[in-house]
Amino acid sequence: MTRKSWIQFGIVGLLWGIPYLLMKVAVADIPPPLIVAGRTLIGAAILIPIAIHKRSFMDAVRGIKYVLP
């Protein structure tokens, strides 16, 4: 791998690993279900506007019948 590839790999590893470290610290003070709900809400707050902007939100909503029983 090139030096640039190693740097990119390190950055991705760092960004990927930080949330698990923060969750380990947070679980000491906050119940796990609340952490999961918070992460889900943050993710939805970021991804739903992107999906609406790309006009793919309604396609996802229509496909929910295949996910939920």
pLDDT tens sequence across 16-55? 888 888 888 888 899 989 988 998 999 999 999 999 999 8
Query: Looking at residues 11-16, what average pLDDT do you find?
Result: 92
The full set of domain ranges for the chain reads: 1-28, 31-69
Residue 36's nearest CA partner among 57, 19, 16 is 19
In which band, very low, low, confident or very high, does the pLDDT at 65 lie, cut at 50, 70 and 90?
confident
**pLDDT number for residue 47:** 93
Q: What is the full DSSP assignment across 16-42?
A: HHHHHHHHHHHTTTS-HHHHHHHHHHH
| pTM, full prediction | 0.60
